[in-house]
Structures are given as structure tokens and as C-alpha cells.
């Protein structure tokens, strides 16, 4: 795949920028981490060359002086909100993050449940589960007038009402399972309460997107807006930065709305604020490390279309509103895109039309289009995978890598003993069978060796995929989209 980003340069520049910001403050720095500390697949898709674990690897250099606070919005626990790129609920993602941080030797100070209110059984159950696992849990409460009433917010009745997280290290990283979790409010609350305890603490923000020094309508920034439709985020010109420096930069509405809170708080504590704009708060160097704008724009445009399909399918499943679908369509229009700009879509729909049944298409790195149809033993997602592996290995498409003698008993096991109503094998089931054949069949082994080459390929299904097929495509690193159409009369996928 074409690369448009210098990852090594980014690590150097970003590390230096964070160290500079730490030196600006005294006893402690609260660093809000927007986006994902690791497994940042959105960034790696939108900016080819950005590695999913770049940010966490950079922070490992500071592990001895840093600790982590995780924030999760109580409403996301109640709604069972899903991190869409890995299909995992936010509360479970918190547990996964704690495991991942601990494995890397990073200290987790505790979990803050934000906007907590009485009468939330699912939230209370999650908090109790954390406590039983030995994780400290804290509650932050809704503040009336947030963020439009800074004087009340920065008071004992506002931030002062929240439970204080005890920390011991000079760098405190505040992160979350996803956007809208209340990270900024956690930072500000902590800083206010640190001041009451005689500690001078500072704040900075490490937000990957939107990219402040790219144009407002740059595809990378539009892709961020498409990715946060459920939060109703909107990219905006930073009016504070424009007024202070006469320089146009990009930020987003929530930071711009919240900036007066931070400004008022610093002024209240120190007599003046170190920042003149939301852009000043950031330490984001990603825009400085783009090496090929054309490659990045093409990748971001594909992400905008993928996000449209994701929102349309979420609406079909009852997880998104019609207004969110309209917004996804509007963002595509702003970018000058239609679904026809995603070539793999037309290939999948054409194969489905020709066969009269669901079909799948995969675009290989050389641009060739491989399709899979609904067969006697396999679904289109599984069929397309095997056909793609054949093409990558130079194996004739007419060669059967797995004999029906093997597929038939697997199908019988699935339907007769496991009670599945769908006799067609999913992608994982077919790959297991192929891996077994590879032990004695050199041709099948050659096909299996091609699996890493699928990472980064584009794929599209003419119908909504099952959870099993979506999971396999995600784990293999394919960028998959689906038409918002149910397969047959099935409502459970």
C-alpha cells in the first residue's frame, strides 16, 4: 500500500513537543489523550503509514513518570455503546485497556465514571465489578450549565463536588475507550482540586484529529467528522486562535465551547491563563509529518465513504438515527464523493446482480478485483477470501483448495449438532478448514501464506455481514463495508 506519512519523524516530533509542554508547568501535568492510545485503526486508515500503536510506544519512554486515568461516560455503559472498529462495548473496552496498559508496565490510577447519577443499575454493576477486580473507581457528576457557566463550574459546587483521583506521578494521562467520555472535564476537575490541595498542575491535549494545520475541508478532517457523527461533532475554525494570532486553524465545537472554562479556571488559580486558544492547548504534530498529501487524501476519502456505510448499517440495526445518516451523506457531498468512488462497491453489486444472490468483492493491492458468491457450502464473504488468497498465490480459481468431502461434515456439525440455521460456512470456519488442509496440501499452504497481504485491502458486501464474518475481516485488516440490506429474511446477524 502507498505510504503518505513519516511515522518515525512523528514519534520524534511528538515526544519532543510533549516534553516541552511538561516543562512549562510545575508539579504536575494532566495530558488529555484524544483518540486511542493504541489500536488506532482510524488514524492508520486515514493517514497511511501511521502505525496503530504509535502513541502507546511513544509513551512507554515516559512510563516511570506517568500514570493513567480512564474515563467512561455513564450513558455509554447504559446504552452498551460499541467501539465500532473492533466491535466491543465501551465497558469491556475499559477492562481490555487496563490489561493492555498493565502488560506494558503502565500504571492505571483508576477509572472515572463521568456524568454519574443515581439510579443507573448497569453503571453501578460495572463499578462494583471494577472494585472486585482491584480497580479504584471514582464518580464525577453532571454540572448544571456545563460548559457555558465557567464561574459555577470552577467552584466547590461544580468541579469541587467530584471525587478526586489520588495520583503520585508528575505526568497523568487521561484517556478513554472512545470520544465523548468526558476526558477534558476529568482533567479540569483534577486541576481545580489539585489547586485546593496546594499543587500547581497544568493541562495539555494530545488530540490526533481534527488536524489543526490542515484546511477545514481537508479529507482527513472531514473523515474525523464522519467518524464522530454519533457525538454531533463539527469541525470549526478556531475563533480564539484567529483573534489572538490572525492565523486560521481548525478545531472542533466541543473544545471551542469548553475553552472559556479552562481559561477561567487558569485565571482563577494563577491569575492568568497560559493559553489564548483551544489550538494552543494541543500538542498534535501529525500534520507536520504528512509526506504525500495525494495519498492521504485518497485514503481519507475512502474512510468518509466507509463511515457512510457504517452509519447506514447502524441505522438498519437501530443503533443510529436517520439524522445521522443524513449527516454522513452530507459529509460525503462536502468531500465531492459518492459511493461510486469506492470501486469495490460496484464489483460486489455487479456479482450479486449476475448471480441473483449475496456477493462479496475484495480489491487487491494491485487494483485487481476479486469476488465471491453464495455457494453450496460457503457464504460470499468466505468465498471471496479464498478466491483472493488464490489470486495472491497465483493459483487457478478452478482448483478446489478444500474438498467437499471435508466441507460436508463441517456443515453437518454446524447445523445438526450446533443448531445453526445457516448451513453456509462463515469466513472463520472456512479458514480453519483451509489451515488443516495446508498441513498436507502444499497448494493450500501456499494460499494460507498470502493472508498477511490482505491487510489494508478494501472489501464490500452486497448485504450486511454476520458478526463472525465482520470479525474475521477486521482481524485480517481488511477495510470492509456492507450495503445496509439484510440477507434474506434474517434479522439476527
pLDDT string in tens for the chain (493-residue length): 789 999 999 998 988 888 888 888 877 899 998 877 888 889 999 999 999 989 888 888 888 889 999 999 999 999 999 887 677 899 999 999 999 999 999 999 999 999 999 999 999 999 999 999 999 999 999 999 887 788 889 899 999 999 999 999 989 999 999 888 999 899 999 999 998 998 888 999 998 899 999 999 999 999 999 999 988 889 999 999 999 999 999 999 988 988 888 888 888 877 789 999 999 999 999 999 999 999 999 999 999 999 999 999 999 989 899 999 999 999 999 999 999 999 999 999 999 999 999 999 999 999 999 999 999 999 999 999 999 999 999 999 889 999 889 999 999 998 898 888 888 999 999 999 999 999 999 999 999 999 999 999 999 999 999 999 999 999 999 999 999 999 765 555 5
Co-location of 116 and 196 in the same domain: yes
Co-location of 47 and 170 in the same domain: yes
33 inside domain:
yes
Cβ-contact 446, 395 below 8 angstroms: yes
Query: What pLDDT, on the 0 to 100 scale, is given for residue 140?
Result: 97
Helix (H) / strand (E) element for 350: namely: helix 343-355
Co-location of 42 and 126 in the same domain: yes
175 inside domain:
yes
Co-location of 276 and 389 in the same domain: no
> How far apart, in whole angstroms, are the C-alpha atoms of residue 475 and residue 108?
27
CATH number at residue 87: 3.10.630.10
Query: What pLDDT, on the 0 to 100 scale, is given for residue 265?
Result: 81
Co-location of 57 and 196 in the same domain: yes
Query: What pLDDT, on the 0 to 100 scale, is given for residue 355?
Result: 95
Q: Please state whether the predicted TM-score (pTM) of the whole model is above 0.85.
A: yes
2 inside domain:
no
Co-location of 68 and 203 in the same domain: yes
Co-location of 180 and 281 in the same domain: yes
Task: Report the number of distinct structural domains present in the chain.
Answer: 2
Cβ-contact 249, 207 below 8 angstroms: no
334 inside domain:
no
Helix (H) / strand (E) element for 45: namely: helix 41-46
Helix (H) / strand (E) element for 252: namely: strand 250-252
Cβ partners under 8 Å of residue 123, min gap 6: 74, 77, 78, 113, 116
> In whole angstroms, how far apart are CA 366 and each of 206, 359, 360, 388, 453?
36, 21, 18, 12, 11
Co-location of 347 and 283 in the same domain: no
Co-location of 346 and 417 in the same domain: yes
Co-location of 402 and 478 in the same domain: yes
Cβ-contact 400, 386 below 8 angstroms: no
Query: What pLDDT, on the 0 to 100 scale, is given for residue 480?
Result: 96
Co-location of 76 and 180 in the same domain: yes
452 inside domain:
yes
- Please name which of 18, 97, 3, 22 lies closest in space to residue 58, comparing C-alpha atoms: 18
> How far apart, in whole angstroms, are the C-alpha atoms of residue 279 and residue 251?
7
Which DSSP state fits 414? I
240 inside domain:
no
Which domain does 360 fall in, by range? Answer: 342-482
311 inside domain:
no
445 inside domain:
yes
CATH number at residue 384: 3.40.140.40
Query: What pLDDT, on the 0 to 100 scale, is given for residue 490?
Result: 58
Co-location of 386 and 258 in the same domain: no
Amino acid at each position: 500500500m502507498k505510504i503518505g506519512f513519516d511515522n518515525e519523524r512523528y514519534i520524534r516530533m511528538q515526544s519532543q513537543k510533549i516534553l516541552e509542554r511538561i516543562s512549562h508547568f510545575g508539579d504536575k501535568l494532566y495530558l488529555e489523550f484524544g483518540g486511542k492510545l493504541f489500536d488506532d485503526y482510524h488514524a492508520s486508515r486515514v493517514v497511511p503509514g501511521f502505525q496503530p500503536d504509535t502513541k502507546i510506544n511513544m509513551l512507554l519512554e515516559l512510563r516511570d513518570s506517568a500514570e493513567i486515568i480512564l474515563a467512561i461516560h455513564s450513558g455509554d455503559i447504559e446504552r452498551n455503546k460499541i467501539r465500532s472498529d473492533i466491535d466491543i462495548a465501551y465497558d469491556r473496552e475499559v477492562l481490555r485497556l487496563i490489561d493492555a496498559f498493565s502488560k506494558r508496565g503502565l500504571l492505571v490510577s483508576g477509572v472515572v465514571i463521568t456524568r454519574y447519577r443515581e439510579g443507573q443499575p448497569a453503571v453501578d454493576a460495572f463499578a462494583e465489578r471494577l472494585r472486585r477486580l482491584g480497580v479504584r473507581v471514582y464518580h464525577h457528576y453532571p454540572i448544571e450549565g456545563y460548559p457555558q457557566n465557567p464561574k459555577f463550574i470552577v467552584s466547590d459546587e461544580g468541579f469541587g463536588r467530584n471525587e478526586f483521583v489520588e495520583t503520585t506521578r508528575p505526568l497523568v494521562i487521561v484517556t478513554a475507550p472512545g470520544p465523548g467520555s468526558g476526558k477534558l472535564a476529568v482533567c479540569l476537575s483534577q486541576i481545580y482540586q489539585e489547586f485546593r490541595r496546594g499543587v500547581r498542575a497544568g493541562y495539555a491535549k494530545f488530540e490526533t484529529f481534527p488536524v489543526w494545520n490542515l484546511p477545514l475541508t481537508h479529507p482527513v478532517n472531514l473523515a474525523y467528522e464522519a467518524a464522530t457523527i454519533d457525538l454531533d461533532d463539527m469541525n470549526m475554525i478556531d475563533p480564539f486562535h484567529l483573534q489572538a494570532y490572525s492565523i486560521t486553524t481548525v478545531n472542533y465545537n466541543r473544545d471551542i465551547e469548553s475553552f472559556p472554562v479552562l481559561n477561567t479556571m487558569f485565571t482563577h488559580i494563577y491569575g492568568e491563563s497560559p493559553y489564548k486558544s483551544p489550538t494552543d492547548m494541543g500538542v498534535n504534530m501529525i500534520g507536520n509529518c504528512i509526506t504525500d498529501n495525494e495519498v492521504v487524501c485518497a485514503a481519507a476519502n475512502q474512510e468518509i465513504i466507509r463511515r457512510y456505510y457504517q452509519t447506514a448499517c447502524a441505522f438498519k440495526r437501530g443503533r443510529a438515527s436517520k439524522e445521522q445518516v443524513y449527516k454522513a451523506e452530507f459529509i460525503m457531498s462536502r468531500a465531492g464523493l459518492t459511493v461510486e468512488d469506492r470501486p469495490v462497491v460496484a464489483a460486489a453489486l455487479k456479482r450479486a446482480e449476475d448471480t441473483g444472490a449475496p456477493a462479496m468483492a475484495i480489491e487487491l493491492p494491485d487494483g485487481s478485483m476479486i469476488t465471491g458468491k453464495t455457494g453450496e457450502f460457503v457464504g460470499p464473504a468466505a468465498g471471496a477470501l479464498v478466491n483472493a488468497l488464490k489470486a495472491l498465490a497465483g493459483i487457478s480459481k478452478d482448483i478446489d483448495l478444500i474438498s467437499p468431502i471435508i466441507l460436508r461434515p463441517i456443515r453437518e456439525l454446524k447445523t445438526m449438532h450446533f443448531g445453526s440455521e445457516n448451513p453456509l460456512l462463515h469466513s472463520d470456519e472456512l479458514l480453519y478448514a483451509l489451515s488443516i488442509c495446508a498441513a498436507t496440501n502444499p497448494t493450500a499452504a501456499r494460499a494460507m501464506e498470502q493472508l498477511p497481504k490482505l491487510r489494508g485491502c478494501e472489501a464490500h458486501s452486497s448485504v450486511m455481514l454476520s458478526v463472525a464474518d465482520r470479525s474475521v475481516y477486521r482481524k485480517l485488516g481488511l477495510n470492509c463495508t456492507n450495503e445496509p440490506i439484510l440477507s434474506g429474511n434474517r434479522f439476527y446477524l
